[in-house]
Amino acid sequence: MKTNSKLFIYTCCGVIFFISFIGMLMYGYKTFYIETKSEPHKTYKYHFALIAEESDNDYWQLIKRGAKEAAKQNDIYIEYVAPEKADNEKMLKLLDRMISANVDGIVVQGIKGERFVNLVHKATEKGIPIITIDTDVKSSERKVYVGTDNFLAGKLAGQALLKNTTGEQYVGIVTGRFDALNQRERIAGFKQTIAGNDRIHIVDTKESNITVVGASQATYSLLKQYPKITALFGTSSLDGVGIIDGLEEIAPNKNLYIVAFDLLPETLNLIKEGKVDVTIAQYPEEMGSKAVSIMIKLQDNDILENRQYTGTKIIEKKDLLPDQAGDAK
Ligand code: BGC
């Protein structure tokens, strides 16, 4: 081979290697979100970890905000960690990592399955208190659950549908993740409420992967498969917005009854515009701050009430002030 072609081949290999190496670094970095801003010079009373379902998700940002505020007021360092995209496996790894780091307490979304229960046991053995937030795992040794009564929240959604509709209803459910226990509890509460009422029929349930795009796609395929659908129920915070996007695409002139979840500003705007009929309120900021206050107490004593529910209720257009978006209470 001529020297020139050899040089050319070596250069190409070098470039390919360089690109793959950079890709590997970037991918590795993006797999988990770990807050890098540490404050080594200041000493804090306690170091807690907050493990969220998805790092940049608007709902989890509110939990983070509440937790950070309470931490600031109590001289606590709170480390916010989460997978970039919802993924139970990655959350379990983060939980294990925080246990190994010997933090003073861990606030974590409850995760389905035996491995979560085992990790909570491991933390308990090491004297690290665990609080589940947003989603509970009652069978684990978590000290306290802080969050919505998800079964009740599902029941409220069912009650709204029963009260505000007449005649036969064919309901499509758009749910965050089949793998998330809180989503299952909401659906179970909904089903219990409508059971025995023979005018309401659930036709199918599809996953949104807790993204607007996912909810929009789920809506699209539900409507395509079951054109007789008359109502849609979105069980996680971005589903309402995604449902409306999907509907505008596939059936812009159809008037369906829409039940959404949470009080994110986009959802409240859709209620004001009359596109979403009701939403089921949760109070994530309060969850974050309450979890931190309880974790402080747990440093000295176990507390008696191990289920600390934050509120939930039905919010409709009449509950919003004319210029209000984002803070219906
Ligand atoms: C749920 C969270 C979920 C979020 C997704 C909320 O309604 O409580 O578990 O992560 O929606 O956007």
61-85 per-position pLDDT tens digit: 999 999 999 999 999 999 999 999 9
Atom of ligand 1 nearest to the CA of 57: 12
Please, what sign has the CA dihedral across residues 162, 166, 170, 174? negative
| Ligand 1 probe mutation, 134, 135, 259, most atoms within 8 A of CB | 134
Closest Cα to atom 2, ligand 1: which residue? 236
- Which residue in 290, 275, 179 sits closest to 236, CA to CA? 179
pLDDT value of residue 321: 77
How far is the centre of ligand 1, averaged over its atoms, from the C-alpha of 212 (Å)?
12
**Ligand 1 contact via 234 beta carbon (within 6 Å):** no
Quote the pTM value.
0.88
Could you tell me what percent of the chain has a pLDDT over 90?
Answer: 83
Q: Take residue 31 and report the two structure tokens written for it.
A: 């797999």
Region 197-223: mean pLDDT is 97
The alpha-helical segments, DSSP class H, found in the chain are: 3-31, 58-73, 88-100, 114-125, 150-164, 181-194, 212-225, 239-250, 265-272, 284-298
pLDDT band at 235 (very low <50, low <70, confident <90, very high): very high
- For residue 283, the SS3 value is coil
Q: How does pLDDT run across 245-268, given as a tens digit for each residue?
A: 999 999 999 999 999 999 999 999
Q: Is the CB of 59 under 6 A from ligand 1?
A: yes
Residue ranges of domains in the chain, CATH in brackets:
44-148+284-310 (3.40.50.2300), 150-282+315-319 (3.40.50.2300)
Distance from the alpha carbon of residue 91 to the mean position of ligand 1, in angstroms: 15
Nearest CA to ligand 1 atom 10: 53
- CB distance 177 to 86 below 8 Å: yes
172 forms beta bridges with: 204, 232
Of 182, 212, 264, the one to substitute when testing ligand 1's pocket (max ligand atoms within 8 A of C-beta) is 182
Question: Is residue 31 scored above 60 in pLDDT?
Answer: no
Mean pLDDT, rounded, for 164-192? 98
% of the chain at pLDDT higher than 70: 86
Rounded Cα–Cα distance for residues 329 and 323 (Å)? 14
